[in-house]
Every structure is written in C-alpha cells, then in structure tokens.
A and B are shown apart, each in its own frame.
Chain A
Amino acid sequence: MTLDLHAFLLLSLMLFSMGLYAVVARQNLIALLIGVELMLNGANVSFLAFNHYVAPDPAVGKTIVLFVIGLAAAEAAIALSIVIAVYRQRAAIRIGELTDLKG
C-alpha cells in the first residue's frame, strides 16, 4: 500500500482537526500554541500533497511551504515570549484566568 493524494489529504485534515481540538479545549497557553502549530503543519501537508499530485509547476507549493515555516517560526517566537511575559506578571498561564479585557 502506498499513500495516494486522498490519504495525504486525510492525514493533513487529521492534523488540522487535532489542532482545532487543542485550540478549543486546552486551557494552558502553551498547549494552545501546540494546537496552532499542528494546524499549520496540516496545511503544509496538504500544500505539498497538492503540489506533488496536482500542480503543474512543482516548485510553487514548496516555496509556499517554506514561507509558512518561516512565518510559523516568527509566530512561535512572539507567542512564547508573550506567554513568558504573562507568566511574569501574574504567575498564571491558564486561559480562564486571563479575563482582564472581558466586558
């Protein structure tokens, strides 16, 4: 059995759904960030799968995935430093306790 386009797309959908679950359900800021990374990776897998099986020019998908990886690195750096800054201010990184902006 070799993986075909649909198998790769289902895998990427699985990654994205798991990430969605983590973003909605997890209460720890870093666990939420894990979910975001999983969603980004799911999107990357589907980009490369379409790039390999469907796209006429095979360099485009790889270029886009490289851009996404670069942006994810920037996003992770900012998000992690925000987590550390929040922790320094109030010694808590649970989402339920961060309600200052609630109306």
Chain B
Amino acid sequence: MTFVTIVALLSVLVGTLLAVSLRSVLHAVFCLALSLAGVACLFLLLDSPFVATMQILVYVGGISVAMVFAVMMSRSPKASMQSERLGHRILGVSVAVPFFGVVGWILLHTDFAVAPERAEGAGSVVEIGRDLLTHYNLVFELLSLALLVAIMGAILLTSRDDSEEASE
C-alpha cells in the first residue's frame, strides 16, 4: 500500500465523515476541502494526473474558498451553530444507509468486464484536448456559455441595488 493510497483513503474517509457531521458549518467546509483533496489523490491513483490537478484547482482552490466566504457573509450565531433535530438525522440515516446497502450489494455481486489492451499514451492530456475541441466541441462551448451565465447571474444576485440599501 503506497503512501498516496493511505493519504487518499484517510483524507476521503475522515474528511467526508466530518464534513457531513460537524455542527459548525465553517469547520464542515474545511473538512470538505480535505475530502476533495483526498478525491484528487484517488484521481492520481486512477492514472489521471490532469483531472487531479483540475480537481485541486477548481474544488479545493475555488469552490471551497467561495463556500468559506459565503459562510462568513451569512453567519448568524444561531443559524450556523444549531444542530439538526433528531428527526432529521434519523430521516437522513434511513435514506442513506439503505441506499448504500442496496447499491453496495449490487456492486459487490457484479463482475465487470476488464478493459482491453490500450495503446501507449492513450488518455493523455493531448488526447483529452483533441477530444474537447473536436468530438465534444459543442458541449465544450455550451459549458463555457453556462459558466458565463453563472458568473453574470452570481454578480446580479449578490449586488445590492440602491433602493435596497436605502431601506436598510
């Protein structure tokens, strides 16, 4: 068991458990960042260093930080520290555990076909880039459009207009 494997398993398991169970939302976001970094290590183990880099850049560097900012800007002591009512926890467990059990049972009882032999250098960054700009070009452009709309929408949603400020 290599070092990367141990780091990946530990950070994914511990980070995820804490991210969904900690009462303080800010701490939960930090544990989410740990878990996402662990997922990046899993991507390294799966022979995809480029995707792992993107995972670190976008998730750990971008989304987690944006979440921390959102927590800071929307923090009211009573809202961020109250724990869930017991009923919600029971409901959550009663949804998640049967799901895990059923899908896990199916997974363990399925034999997946093994991949055929691959050419040298298949799945490299060069190949991903060529795919993105030829076969998946339409999806690529649509995604950039969606990102643009999301950025504009985020700015519009969070900017105060003058009438709002006057009423405060």
Of chain B, the residue at the smallest CB distance from A49 is B46
**Contact in complex: A1, B16 (CB < 8 Å):** no
User: Which residues of chain B have C-beta atoms less than 8 A from A99's C-beta?
Assistant: none
**Contact in complex: A8, B97 (CB < 8 Å):** no
Q: Which of A6, A26, A78 contacts B150 (CB 8 A)?
A: A78
Given the known interface contacts A24-B91, A67-B139, the answer about A34 and B58 at a Cβ–Cβ threshold of 8 Å is no
The proximity string for A residues 61-102 relative to B, scoring 1 for CB distances below 8 Å and 0 otherwise, is 011011101111111111011111101100111100000000
A interface size (C-beta, 8 A): 74
Interface SS of B by simple majority: helix
Q: How far is the CA of A88 from the CA of B165 in the complex (A)?
A: 11
User: Which residues of chain A have C-beta atoms less than 8 A from B150's C-beta?
Assistant: 73-75, 77-78
Of chain A, the residue at the smallest CB distance from B92 is A25
Q: Which of B76, B97, B104, B143 contacts A10 (CB 8 A)?
A: B104
The proximity string for B residues 1-43 relative to A, scoring 1 for CB distances below 8 Å and 0 otherwise, is 1100100010011001101100001001100100110010011
**Contact in complex: A21, B92 (CB < 8 Å):** yes
Most buried by A among B1, B50, B116, B128: B128
Q: How far is the CA of A92 from the CA of B80 in the complex (A)?
A: 10
**Contact in complex: A59, B66 (CB < 8 Å):** no
Min CB distance, B80 to chain A, in Å?
Answer: 7
The proximity string for A residues 20-45 relative to B, scoring 1 for CB distances below 8 Å and 0 otherwise, is 11101111101101110110010011
Q: How far is the CA of A102 from the CA of B51 in the complex (A)?
A: 42
Min CB distance, A38 to chain B, in Å?
Answer: 6
Further 7 A-B residue pairs, CB within 8 A, beyond A26-B84, A51-B123: A24-B91, A30-B25, A34-B67, A37-B63, A69-B51, A76-B67, A84-B158
- Sampled A-B contacts (21; CB under 8 Å): A5-B112, A6-B108, A9-B107, A15-B12, A18-B19, A21-B20, A24-B95, A27-B85, A30-B70, A30-B71, A37-B63, A38-B35, A41-B35, A41-B39, A45-B39, A62-B48, A72-B58, A73-B63, A74-B149, A77-B66, A80-B67
| Closest A-B pairs by Cβ, 10 of them | A25-B92, A58-B123, A74-B150, A21-B96, A87-B74, A81-B157, A81-B154, A17-B100, A24-B92, A22-B20
